[in-house]
Structure formats: structure tokens, C-alpha cells
Amino acid sequence: MNFLESRFVKEVSEITDNMYHQGWDERNGGNISYMIDEEYVREYFPKDVFVRDIPLGFTADEVLRGKYFLVTGTGKYFKNIIKNPEANLGLVKISDNGQVAHLLWGYKDGGKFTSEFPAHLMSHAVRFKANPNNRIIMHTHPTYTICMGACLPADEVIFTRKLWKSNTEAVVVFPEGVGVLPCMVCGTTEIGEATANKMKDHRLVTWTNHGIYGAGNDIDEAFGLIETVEKTAQIYMLTLGHVVNEIPDEVIIGLAKLWNLKMMPGVIEEK
């Protein structure tokens, strides 16, 4: 069986094409990592035969060692993935010591994984411990989400409240709220650790002036979370300073009760 024809490559190719056409991933912006269970990898690779090793630049958590990831490449454009997946994606296995990614497939032009892969792995480790079904970490640059972050303090309670008060879907889709980081240097261990720390409680984390991270059990869940934030941020920005019909607190509380949701504390308090 040819891994190029696998559902995993097709899913990543299709979603990155979608994200590019949403206008979220200019140039080489954005990255995705997809944890693939060994049983599915073995359908295409009966044995591990590595093309080469790529240093991770840090030591991955023990929970990820021996795990397989399909990862977008560094310097690669989302718009090109669907046309040439084998040059723009790579399938890697995390080494037993957590310091190396063994390449099984992809990066055929000599490339490597995204510079954000260490940050992805830190978030994967946290989300996997919180939810063993988590498979996706997705990073992108949605326009209105970045605009909204530029207009508000880097405070997750304020940011979450503005979202919840702008769209009734928001509290239903992400009742745990959105984590918020201040503007930081991307591609560093520091921002990776800070993101992972927020991922302990949130599936969504915004990087002020940069973009957003989303985690999910599958491509649709991670994309849907980010899509809902971006749609709601668009509503907020388009109505900024002109809102008359803001969603009442009691409606948000009613939605949470209707759907039996555990809301992020401190955002909306029942009176």
C-alpha cells in the first residue's frame, strides 16, 4: 500500500488547502501535526525503515516516545501540500530517548518538520495525558482572531467572555474557554512550554499578534474549534463599538445548563 494514498495524507492535504483558501495561512504560515497509531502505520510500513534522522532540539515527553506523527514541513506553503504531499509532509517516529525524529516517509526534497514541531509535541504530551484520544495539534493565523487579540488585553477571561457574549455557539463549542499568551518569540522552547501549560486546561490557545493553536481528536474537531473562534472574532470585530444586543449572561448560563457544560470559571458568574 502507498502511504501517499492514505487517508491521513489526504486529510492533511485537504484541510491545509481549505485553510489556505480561508486566508489563514499566508506564505509558509501555519503547521499541523497528526499522531497516527502504530496499527495504521503498519498497514503501509510493515517494518520501520528510516530514511534519516532529524534532531528534535529538545527531549520529548516519555508518553510520546515511539509514537508516529505526520507533520507539515518547515518553510513549506500550505497551498502546495495538496499538489505535492511527499515534499511538504513527513511521517516521523519519535526515538526511544525522545531526542530524534526518525523519518519514514516524505520531506523528499531534503527538508524537515516545521520549526514549531517541538511546541506541537509539548502540547501533544499534555493533551494526550488529559485525553488519550487526542491526535491533532493545529496552528494557523486566522485574521479576525489576530485582530481581536490586538484590541484586547492578553487576558483569557476577558478574551473568552468577549467571544461567549458575541455568538451563542461559542460557549457550546469551547466551554473551557480559550487560553491566551502575550506576544512572544515563536519557534522557541519558551513559547512551546507556555502553550503546553495552557493546553492543560484548554484545547485552544491564542498567541497574541500571531495566531492560534487548536487540539482535537481528529482534523474536523481541531479545525472546527478554530473555525468557531475565527467566526466569532469576526462578529466581534465587525460590531466593535456598535453592539446593542449583546448576549445576556443568563442566556450563556442557560446554554451551559442545557448542554451540561462545565464552563471556564471566572468568565460568567451566575447571579
The set of residues, in sequence order, having a beta carbon less than 8 Å from that of 154 and lying 6+ positions away, is 180, 181, 182, 183, 208
The answer to whether residue 116 is catalytic is yes
Choose the catalytic residue: 39, 43, 116, 156: 116
Distance between CA 106 and CA 72 in Å, rounded?
A: 10
Cβ atoms of residues 52 and 103 within 8 Å: yes
Helix, strand or coil for residue 216?
strand
Distance between CA 102 and CA 56 in Å, rounded?
A: 10
Distance between CA 134 and CA 217 in Å, rounded?
A: 4
Q: Which three cell numbers stand for residue 210?
A: 500571531
Cβ atoms of residues 141 and 226 within 8 Å: no
Strand 89-94, strand 204-207: pairing: unpaired
Catalytic residue ranges: 116
